[in-house]
Structure 1
Amino acid sequence: MKPVILRPRAVLFDCDGVLADSEALHNRIIAEEISALGWPMDAAEAERRFIGLSWRNIVPLVEARLGPGSVPADFVEGVIARVLRALHEQVVPVPGALDAVRAIVAAGIPVAVASNSSRLELTTKLHGLGLTELFRGRTFSYDDVAAPKPAPDMYRAAAASCGADPARCVVVEDSVTGSRAGVAAGCRVLGFAHATDPATLAAVGAQPFHDMRDLPGLLGLAEVVA
């Protein structure tokens, strides 16, 4: 007998690596910019060290390695400007993500997005993906909350924007940092394991899955119980 999957009251998405296939771009730029400060690294190391973290979390790590004052005051603004220039050229969706979001919306389930990106980065990505209207009024960046992921603030705010109890929301994440935020908010977390080891996601309370096209089924949209 199949387990009954309760229909979620809302689905709350991360952006990078879940909706936008932008992790490689971010990792390359982060690696180059931090290397220029004096901490040599490649994109793979940047991903390993910083996946899912906001700049609020990354800058102190760099200063801990290189020393106080090693990160210029305008460093983050410069990196964001470089990322935005790249995003304006093209934003590539994660395979299956756009169809999954549209299927969820078509089923009458509210959606929100919560990202450790800056507000400008998140807005640019959603515009490039053609998702601005679907998420309008329910988009949250690290600029919008007191504490970024792994704190639960962003997902609690996203649930509230959908008028939903976090306990009846599903979070879709691809990082340990984001999964911890979703669990701390009291949500069920589905961990998209394309860049992170599924066992690592499971260890922090996420349910790993491997293909975004499977998401509607994991939400019980074929056989839902209200």
Structure 2
Amino acid sequence: MRPAAVLFDCDGVLADSEGLVNRLVAEALTARGWRMTGEEAREIFLGMALPAMLPVIEARCGPLPADWGAALSRHITQALTAEVEPVPGAVAAVRAVAAAGLPMAVCSNSTRGELRAKLQRLDLARYFGQHVYTFEDVARPKPAPDMYQAAAEACGVAPADCVVVEDSLLGARAGIAAGCRVLGLARETDAAVLAAVGARPFAGMAELPGLLGIGE
């Protein structure tokens, strides 16, 4: 069924950024004595906002310098600006939604700087305008529903009439909690895990226009 608005996650849905970010997080934590690989960082932190990550890190590494999180975010932003590439099919999917005249928003547990860097690098910022949300814009990050509820309101659409496109368990839970229909891109997260929380799994972004009822 064609939705009234489409609300996108970014990492793993639009930007193929999770491998890069996980590698940088793993390097930063290894330097503080918590040795890990990028794959291990993905298993521990996938979908988490930085404020939620910090207590987990401090429980293992001890108190962090006051500016540690901000410094890590700046380092990640620089790398994203230079390196990040789109998820296959993502740019075409966003263009298809725009061509269909559907309101869109992007909702990410990233910082504002990181999200801005990704959208600009992928030339997607122009499609979302002011409808860009991070954990810094709401009271609670995903898996709380705040971000998707705010995005639906900004689009002038009831959450029940929105489709959320997510790829993580935390993000799918946020969309479901907001009252949206959730399509779960099964790249980093198993399809069965996404389905178990109420998302409809799909295999690739090239499928999205058809799932939204706007494909040819």
Pairwise CA distance, 1:104: 0.8
Runs of 4+ in 1 over 6 A off after TM superposition: none
Residues 90-132 of structure 1: CA deviation (Å, up to 9, x unaligned): 3301110000011011111111000000001111111111111
Question: Aligned to 1:8, what secondary structure does the other structure show?
Answer: coil
8 Å CA contact 1:216, 1:222 repeated in 2:
yes
- Aligned pairs for 1:25-174 (under 5 A) are 25-67=20-62, 69=63, 71-174=64-167
Pairwise CA distance, 1:78: 1.1
Structure 1 unpaired stretches of 5+ = none
Structure 2 unpaired stretches of 5+ = none
- 214-223 or 139-148, which deviates more: 214-223
8 Å CA contact 1:28, 1:43 repeated in 2:
yes
For this pair of structures, how many residues does the alignment match?
216
Residues 166-221 of structure 1: CA deviation (Å, up to 9, x unaligned): 00000000100100000000000001001111111111111111110000111112
8 Å CA contact 1:15, 1:114 repeated in 2:
yes
Question: Aligned to 1:89, what secondary structure does the other structure show?
Answer: helix
Between the two proteins, what is the percent identity of the paired residues? 57
What is the Cα-based RMSD across aligned positions, in Å? 1.1
- Picking from 194, 203, 206, the partner of 1:210 is 203
Residues 128-175 of structure 1: CA deviation (Å, up to 9, x unaligned): 111111111100011111110001000001111111100000000010
Q: Take 2:100 and 2:151, find their aligned partners in 1: how far apart are those partners? A: 19
Question: Aligned to 1:190, what secondary structure does the other structure show?
Answer: strand
TM score, norm. by length of structure 1: 0.93
Question: Aligned to 1:46, what secondary structure does the other structure show?
Answer: helix
Q: Which residue of 2 aligns with 1:200?
A: 193
Question: Aligned to 2:140, what secondary structure does the other structure show?
Answer: coil
